[in-house]
């Protein structure tokens, strides 16, 4: 499988996961939600869900031509790293949120690592 095909598959997979943040928070709140109660109990959480759902749709669309969508993919890489680092810091500061160190923090770092490595390979192939 070519690097471009691997990147396209990763974009579709992680794009779909980004679209599923809300159900993930229902199944595992301590790893995906930053508030008490159900996912709909927080306006903040619903805004994050909306942003990630839109990003997920655009990542899925980017799978058709990753190089033409390089800026979106690199935005996803770096925003995921920054988001994960902030969440990790906050999780360490508040013991009630340490479940995130096993949930969304590593998930975002995996997204950044996979997209970053594959983008470097695809750009080198071009």
Three-state DSSP at 34 gives coil
- pLDDT score for 126: 84
pTM (predicted TM-score): 0.88
Q: What is the pLDDT of residues 64-98, one digit of tens each?
A: 999 999 999 999 999 999 999 988 998 888 777 77
Distance between CA atoms of residues 88 and 59, nearest Å: 24
* Tokens matching residue 101: 């160190």
What does the pLDDT look like over 16-68, one tens digit per residue?
A: 999 998 888 788 776 666 666 666 777 788 888 899 999 999 999 999 999 99
Number of domains in the chain: 1
CA 89 – CA 29 distance, rounded (Å): 18
pLDDT confidence of residue 35? 64
Residue 68 structural domain: 3-125
The pLDDT score that the predictor gives to residue 46 is: 85
The pLDDT value recorded for residue 4 is 97
End-to-end CA distance of the chain: 16
Per-residue CA distances from 49 to 32, 67, 83, 92, 126 (Å): 11, 26, 14, 23, 34
**Amino acid 6: pLDDT:** 98
């Amino acid at each position: 499988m070519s690097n471009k095909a691997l990147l396209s598959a990763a974009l579709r997979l992680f794009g779909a996961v980004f679209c599923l943040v809300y159900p993930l928070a229902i199944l595992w709140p301590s790893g995906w939600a930053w508030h008490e109660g159900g996912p709909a109990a927080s306006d903040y959480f619903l805004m994050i869900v909306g942003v990630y759902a839109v990003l997920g749709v655009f990542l899925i669309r980017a799978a058709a031509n990753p190089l033409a969508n390089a800026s979106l993919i690199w935005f996803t890489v770096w925003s995921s790293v920054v988001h994960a680092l902030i969440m990790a810091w906050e999780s360490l500061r508040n013991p009630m949120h340490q479940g995130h160190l096993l949930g969304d923090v590593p998930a975002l770092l995996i997204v950044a690592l996979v997209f970053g490595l594959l983008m470097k390979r695809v750009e080198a192939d071009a």
